[in-house]
Amino acid sequence: MSHTSTYDVAIVGYGPVGATAANLLGQMGLRVVVIERDPDIYFRARAISIDEEVLRIWQQVGLADRLGADMQPGAGADFVDTNGVSIAKLLPADRGNGHPPQQFIYQPAVEGVLRRGVSRFPNVSLLLQHECLRLTQRSDSVELMLADLTHDEFKRIRASYVIAADGGSSAIRGQLGIGFTGRTYSERWIVIDTKVIDEWPGHDRLRFHCNPERPMVDCPTPLGHHRWEFPVRAEENEDDLLNEDAIWNVLSRQGITRANVQIIGYACYSHHVRFADRWRVGRVFLAGDAAHAMPPWIGQGMCAGVRDVANLCWKLHAVVSGSLAESVLDSYQDERLPHVKEVTNRAVKVGRIIVERNRIRAAIRNRFFRTAGHVPGFMTWLRNHRWLPDARYHHGLLARNGNPAAGWLIPQPWVIDENGDRVRLDDIIGGTWAVLHIGPAQAAHSWRLAGVPVLQIATAGSPSSADRIVDRDGVLTDWLARRKAVVVAVRPDGFIYAGAAAGQQLAPPPAEFTAPITRVKDHA
């Protein structure tokens, strides 16, 4: 048994969610250890798309531009009938986060960039090929018993907190006795990943083939890859479909030949709708697939996990650094679970559109969407109610003064900083508490006393300074007006803690708030 090492946070699982958490906590300066069974990145792509909010999170750790270089901008989702003719098309909506609203990814490449990002931080240690066998919670820490899979020996480490990002079959969730309630769909899906040799018409479009006989997802992925997914029919045996001859038979019906692609992998998966009964047990937190599972229809499985750790990590840093009371950690599930449930509900509804097997109902569906598509505003309504919901929290670490700005994610426009440079908003305030105002600064007096930066939002043409940023396109000014606020307190994750209208005082900082949360920038 090796000696005990002590850390602020232990992360179990080094997929994209665990790697994002390691980057966030590493940049904040915490002592972090990452525990992962596998020796390297899992070779098979799973997630295939992200949205602008996720890329904004990765921007906070200085990786957005590098990650974006390996991504392919999306042009929406096209729902097509048996003949490949469109019945509906959902275009991605720009929600003002400063990045493209839809990006296709090749997951192994994304994970590679995230892991190289972690290597910037000497305060983050990696224990690859290690398995967490047991957790023992104490009053001030968690003791983890690890098996070193390379040397057949055991290690004992200690951490103040643990993030379990160890996937849908989470061993830690099982050790803690946390239920994972919901359902698993009986229908199994074959996933085919290919390398593109010769492009074909439509290779760069996401299409949902709403064919009652053989529903299919047809999706571009960057760096010269492409994916298809289709369900195993009731009369089929999945083992008979998991060979190259069967795969080519399916692809040939899509007009794809060996001249177009090289098959690099295929597997069979089940779709789940499940939520962990608790996301926190003492000092241990579930994140990503360990906390929730959803069907893939709107590409939010991995994205939801990245959002989880973006919400959790700054709170862990605040507690470890003494900036906030430990009770703030209870807001993690309160804030994230409603959003995850709504995303999952929308994914299920989109799936029902795609996989309708009854030919009569499918014909009615096609006629309905084609007719409704001519009604002004219908496709916008469909996108807003079937695709990604707004980034907003209704409960949790929010001030309760009735101002409607509280709980919303602030947009990220390009602004002019004190040096006169054009930068994204988060490059100025990201990762720390900040107060932004277009009204009198006196409304934020208690925040200024607490040491929180207070910045005026000035209109285009105004001079910038150390305490003033210029809203060159009026995005922030217009957004605040719609939320009936002239001053807002922004949390380190970009969500509004409190807002106030003209003539009102801004709610004070949270209880036991002692110092602003800052991030370590010299490793970024």
Q: Read off the pLDDT of residues 195-216 as tens digits, 9 standing for 90 and up.
A: 999 999 989 999 999 999 999 9
pLDDT at 517: 52
pLDDT at 44: 76
Q: Are residues 419 and 506 in the same domain?
A: yes
pLDDT tens-digit readout, 493-505: 999 999 999 988 8
d(CA 333, CA 281): 11
Structural contact between residues 140 and 253, judged by C-beta atoms closer than 8 angstroms: no
- DSSP character string of 164-230: E---TT-HHHHHTT--EEEEEEEEEEEEEEEEESS--TTTTSEEEE--SSS-EEEEEETTTEEEEEE
pLDDT at 1: 56
Q: Are residues 506 and 427 in the same domain?
A: yes
What CATH number is attached to the domain comprising 22?
3.50.50.60
- Beta carbons within 10 angstroms of residue 132's beta carbon: 23
Return the C-alpha torsion angle 354, 356, 357, 363, nearest 10.
Answer: -100
Q: Are residues 402 and 327 in the same domain?
A: no
Q: Is the pLDDT of residue 518 over 90?
A: no
Q: Are residues 158 and 67 in the same domain?
A: yes
Cα-Cα-Cα-Cα dihedral sign, residues 269, 270, 275, 281: negative
Q: Are residues 65 and 174 in the same domain?
A: yes
Q: Are residues 443 and 332 in the same domain?
A: no
Residue 484 lies in a domain: yes
Residue 505 lies in a domain: yes
pLDDT at 46: 85
Half-sphere exposure of 236 (CA within 13 A, CB side): 17
pLDDT tens-digit readout, 238-249: 999 999 999 999
Q: Are residues 485 and 411 in the same domain?
A: yes
Note the pTM of the prediction, 2 decimals. Answer: 0.95
Residue 126 lies in a domain: yes
Residue 212 lies in a domain: no
C-alpha angle with apex 67: 62 to 71, nearest 5 degrees? 155
- Arithmetic mean of pLDDT over the chain: 93
- The average pLDDT across 176-193 equals 94
Q: Which two tokens mark 394?
A: 């209704």
Instruction: Specify the number of domains making up the chain.
Output: 2
pLDDT at 516: 57
Domain range for 479 is 398-524
d(CA 173, CA 196): 39
Residue 521 lies in a domain: yes
Q: Is the pLDDT of residue 250 over 90?
A: yes
Q: Is the pLDDT of residue 519 over 70?
A: no
d(CA 19, CA 40): 13
What CATH number is attached to the domain comprising 507?
3.40.30.120
- The average pLDDT across 320-329 equals 95
**Final residue of a domain: which of 329, 348, 367?**
348
Q: Are residues 436 and 327 in the same domain?
A: no
- 189 against 443, higher pLDDT: 189
β-pairing, 454-459 with 434-437? Answer: parallel
- The average pLDDT across 324-336 equals 97
Q: Are residues 329 and 468 in the same domain?
A: no
pLDDT tens-digit readout, 53-89: 999 999 999 999 999 999 999 888 999 999 999 999 9
d(CA 199, CA 72): 15
